[in-house]
Amino acid sequence: MNVRHSGIGMTSQRTRSRMIERLRSQGIQDEVVLEAISAVPRHIFVDEALASRAYDDVSLPIGHAQTISQPYIVARMIELLRNGGQLNRVLEVGTGCGYQAAVLGQLAFEVYSVERIQPLFKRASISLKEIQARNVILSYADGTMGRPDVAPFNGIIMAAAATHVPRALLEQLALGGRMILPLGTQEQFLTLIERDEQGFHESRLEAVKFVPILTGKA
């Protein structure tokens, strides 16, 4: 067993169970999503110094002015993305530490995740390999451009706040697909975009706070 699975990892199942009960009490109803979150060892994706807080409902710093989202936000966004259905091909914009990609990997046939910060991309690659997330494909690129080479996606999830929905991502959303992202500047709101034959439909949901999306590679 890898050393990072020892110590806290050996006792984390009880801690993870408490996290799942808390998510239920916060209103997460999709048991398939809760099962996926329970299956992923969140402490693998945070710095060792913060491992004891890995299952708390807080966002934690991962370096480079980025954070790992609190478990509730991860669960909420994925629940909205899944909408009780099967996720086939999913695009994640902003891999960060790789935790959300790992959860998505439990639910979708294929997950394509894009990260613009090279050290985070490298770290996420190692962590995802460690938990054998073979259906998660990472790329080091500008996430706002998406992955046109493997589009369309029936789900797109963005892990940073934008002032508007990037046009490239809308074009890569399949008919019947759903996109979830934080939108806004001073005030941000979780926003759901649905695509059908008539076009795109936008629904504004609860207030959130994310780091802003940046373009280019770093």
Give the pLDDT of the chain (218 residues) as one tens digit per residue: 344 544 445 456 788 899 999 999 999 999 999 999 999 999 999 988 888 899 999 999 899 988 899 999 999 999 999 999 999 999 999 999 999 999 999 999 999 999 999 999 999 999 999 999 999 999 999 999 999 999 999 999 999 999 999 999 999 999 999 999 999 988 999 999 999 999 999 999 999 999 888 887 87
Question: What is the structure's pLDDT at 4?
Answer: 52
What does the pLDDT read at residue 117? 95
Q: pTM, whole model, 2 decimals?
A: 0.92
d(CA 188, CA 75) in angstroms, rounded, equals: 18
- Give the per-residue pLDDT at 2: 44
**Pick from 31, 125, 126, 41: which is nearest to 82 by CA?**
31
Which residue type occupies 139?
Answer: S
Catalytic site includes residue 113: no
- Overall residue count recorded for the chain in this entry: 218
Q: Residue 104 burial (CB < 10 Å; 0-12/13-18/19+)?
A: buried
Could you give the domains of the chain?
58-208 (3.40.50.150)
Identity of residue 101: A
Q: Nearest Cα to 202, choosing from 211, 191, 213?
A: 191
- Output the six-digit token pair for 74: 């991860």
For the chain, counts of helices (H) and of strands (E) = 6, 9
Q: Bridge-partner residues for 139, per DSSP?
A: 114
Provide the pLDDT for residue 212. 87
Contact 58, 137 (CB under 8 A): no
CA 211 – CA 5 distance, rounded (Å): 29
Catalytic residue among 12, 59, 69, 113: 69
